[in-house]
Amino acid sequence: MEISRQFAMEMVKELGVVINQNINFIDRNGIIIASTDVNRIDSFHMGAKRIIDEGLPYLVIDSDDEYTGSKKGVNLPIIVDQQIQGIIGITGERSVVVKYGEIIKRFTEMYIRDNMMRKQQQQDEKIRSRFIENWLMNDSAPHDPYFSEGAKEVGLNPDAQYRIILVSFSQTSKQSMVDRQSSLDQATQFLRTSLCNAPGNHTLRIGSVLVFLIEYRVESELKPRLQRIARMINQAYSIDVHIGFENNPSTSMNLSEAYRRVQKALMASQATHVTTVSEYDELYLELLINDMNASTSREFVEKVFGKMSQEEREVAVQWLSVLYLNDGSIQRTANQLFIHKNTLQYKLRRIKEVTGMDPRSARYIPIFTLAIAFSKR
Q: Look up the CATH number of the domain holding residue 35.
A: 3.30.450.40
Q: Are 42 and 52 in contact (CB under 8 A)?
A: no
pLDDT of residue 269: 86
pLDDT of residue 194: 92
Q: Are 35 and 26 in contact (CB under 8 A)?
A: no
Q: Which of 6-15, 86-95, 181-190, 366-375 has the lowest mean pLDDT?
A: 366-375
Position 175 pLDDT exceeds 80: no
Long-range Cβ contacts of 335-343 (<8 Å, 24+ apart): 336/274
Q: How far apart are CA 334 and CA 170, in angstroms?
A: 21
Taking only the tens place, the pLDDT of each residue in 94-141 is 988 999 999 999 999 999 999 999 999 999 999 999 999 999 999 999
Q: How far apart are CA 12 and CA 22, in angstroms?
A: 8
Q: How far apart are CA 220 and CA 313, in angstroms?
A: 40
Position 328 pLDDT exceeds 90: yes
Position 268 pLDDT exceeds 90: no
pLDDT of residue 173: 63
- Whether 328 maps to a domain, the answer reads yes
Phi, psi of 309 (to 5 degrees): -70, 165
User: Are 268 and 316 found together in one domain?
Assistant: no
Among the candidates 241, 272, 289, a domain finishes at 289
- Whether 38 maps to a domain, the answer reads yes
Q: How far apart are CA 365 and CA 322, in angstroms?
A: 13
Task: Quote the number of domains for the chain.
Answer: 3
Taking only the tens place, the pLDDT of each residue in 138-163 is 999 999 999 999 999 999 999 999 99
- Whether 147 maps to a domain, the answer reads no
Phi, psi of 258 (to 5 degrees): -65, -40
- Whether 135 maps to a domain, the answer reads no
User: Are 170 and 194 found together in one domain?
Assistant: yes
Which one has a higher pLDDT value, 50 or 173?
Answer: 50
Mean pLDDT of 318-322: 91
Show the DSSP H helices in the chain as ranges: 5-19, 46-54, 94-97, 101-137, 147-153, 177-195, 222-237, 255-270, 285-291, 294-305, 310-325, 330-337, 341-355, 365-375
Instruction: State percent of the chain over pLDDT 90.
Output: 76
Residue 331's domain comprises: 292-375
Position 10 pLDDT exceeds 90: yes
Which are the contacts of 169, defined by CB distance < 8 A and separation ≥ 6? 184, 187, 239, 240, 241, 242
Instruction: Please tell me whether residue 181 adopts helix, strand or coil conformation.
Output: helix
User: Are 317 and 298 found together in one domain?
Assistant: yes
pLDDT of residue 219: 66
- Whether 98 maps to a domain, the answer reads yes
Mean pLDDT of 300-320: 92
Phi, psi of 175 (to 5 degrees): -110, 160
Task: Give the chain's mean pLDDT.
Answer: 91
User: Are 188 and 254 found together in one domain?
Assistant: yes
- Whether 152 maps to a domain, the answer reads no
User: Are 257 and 303 found together in one domain?
Assistant: no
- Whether 125 maps to a domain, the answer reads no
Q: How far apart are CA 194 and CA 62, in angstroms?
A: 57
Q: What angle do CA 241, 224, 161 make, to 5 degrees?
A: 95
Residue 166's H or E segment, with its range, is strand 162-171
Q: Pick from 322, 369, 374, 327: which is nearest to 347 by CA?
A: 322
Taking only the tens place, the pLDDT of each residue in 222-241 is 899 999 999 999 999 888 89
pLDDT of residue 70: 94
- Whether 132 maps to a domain, the answer reads no
Beta bridge partners of 169: 241
User: Are 16 and 43 found together in one domain?
Assistant: yes
User: Are 79 and 174 found together in one domain?
Assistant: no
Q: Pick from 228, 232, 258: which is nearest to 245 by CA?
A: 258
User: Are 267 and 297 found together in one domain?
Assistant: no
Instruction: State percent of the chain over pLDDT 70.
Output: 97
Q: Are 167 and 242 in contact (CB under 8 A)?
A: yes
Position 275 pLDDT exceeds 90: no
Nearest 10 degrees: Cα torsion 112, 113, 116, 121 = -140
Which domain CATH number covers 325?
1.10.10.2840
Using the 8-state DSSP alphabet, how is residue 326 labeled?
T
User: Are 191 and 272 found together in one domain?
Assistant: yes
User: Are 190 and 89 found together in one domain?
Assistant: no
Which are the contacts of 156, defined by CB distance < 8 A and separation ≥ 6? 128, 131, 132, 200, 202
Q: Are 24 and 34 in contact (CB under 8 A)?
A: yes
- Ramachandran region of residue 182, left (φ > 0), alpha (ψ -120 to 50) or beta? alpha
User: Are 172 and 252 found together in one domain?
Assistant: yes
Q: Are 351 and 316 in contact (CB under 8 A)?
A: yes
Among the candidates 289, 314, 348, a domain finishes at 289
Q: How far apart are CA 219 and CA 143, in angstroms?
A: 30
User: Are 248 and 327 found together in one domain?
Assistant: no
Edge-to-edge, what's the strand order for the sheet holding 32-35? 32-35, 23-26, 83-91, 73-80, 59-61
Phi, psi of 64 (to 5 degrees): -65, -15
Beta bridge partners of 111: none
Q: Look up the pTM and report it.
A: 0.74
Position 253 pLDDT exceeds 90: yes
Which domain CATH number covers 190?
3.30.70.270
Mean pLDDT of 273-283: 85
Residue 155's CB: how many other CB atoms inside 10 A?
14
Q: Provide the pLDDT confidence category of residue 297 given band limits of 50, 70 and 90.
A: confident
